[in-house]
Structure 1
């Protein structure tokens, strides 16, 4: 076999084995649908910001990707998902989907001063869920620690309660 063909075969086998960097997009924050209320009443015009990297104080980290939406007259919103581009070698047998989950929601009634809606614990490891998340955010509620039901590693703090959308 000619040297060129041997080299081509090696590259093909390496590609099939997942040893060659390949461009792809990976999920850094999920799609979230929800409602913003205050004392049981919908908050029309509330600003909801999803960021894929927040620090412990709830501010977007330098280089964080953000999406911002405004709630409709009933307080409903949909934001996300956020994906990032990467070149990496994907080896299915060795791939681990656990990674830090520093994403979170921020809420504002004026579009300028944001407060935590749900900030994930950046010290924990978990997965960014592929299924949509449903959020219920009550601006009159004090922030509290909560877990996305069924996902013990997805712990956060804030007035929003999150749940993974069930498949029907």
Structure 2
């Protein structure tokens, strides 16, 4: 009798809401030092973070390199294997600031789509001179975003 109930007991865990991202910021092909990079797990279409967003922030080094994330949130849930759903909204994004105050979109996932947050490291290449464009993380059709950064997964599913 108790074995049947064990699968429905809530247990604490952390779930991924934004991936680990390592990347480089360039302008006219040259690395840019001192750019503030912000990874947030809840953003809107304009790149603003929600008041409930978890954020991590780093600054690029002399070669324009940075590493930020991942972001995880704590939750209680009941684990029932046949009912486990891995789809989440993924309104996470990467923001850039060259003046230390205002941020612009680096790559914002489309908040209207459903998909998974990658549990593999992501590589970002961001060109400050590039216009914002729509892009997909290769191999992950549900991960569409906009911004001057191009994201790729280090390994495919």
On whether the aligned pair clears a TM of 0.5, the verdict is yes
Shift of 1:29: 0.3
CA distance in 2, matches of 1:80, 1:102: 15
TM-score by length of structure 1 reads: 0.90
Q: Return the index of the structure with the highest Cα Rg.
A: 1
Stretches of 4+ aligned residues off by more than 2 angstroms: none
CA distance in 2, matches of 1:69, 1:55: 21
Instruction: Decide which of 18, 36, 39 is 1:50's aligned counterpart.
Output: 39
Instruction: Decide which of 72, 80, 100 is 1:91's aligned counterpart.
Output: 80
1:66-105 equivalences in 2 (<5 Å)? 66-105=55-94
Aligned partner of 1:24 in structure 2 is 13
Aligned partner of 2:95 in structure 1 is 106
Aligned partner of 1:13 in structure 2 is 4
Residue 126 (str. 1) matches residue 115 (str. 2): yes
* Unaligned residue ranges in structure 1 (runs of 5+): 1-8
CA distance in 1, matches of 2:27, 2:5: 56
* CA RMSD, Structure 1 to Structure 2 (Å): 1.1
CA distance in 2, matches of 1:90, 1:137: 39
Cα-to-partner distance string for 1:9-37 (whole Å, 9 max, x where unaligned): 53x5312x2x1111000000000000000
* Unaligned residue ranges in structure 2 (runs of 5+): none
CA distance in 1, matches of 2:75, 2:85: 16
Aligned partner of 2:154 in structure 1 is 165
Shift of 1:39: 1.1
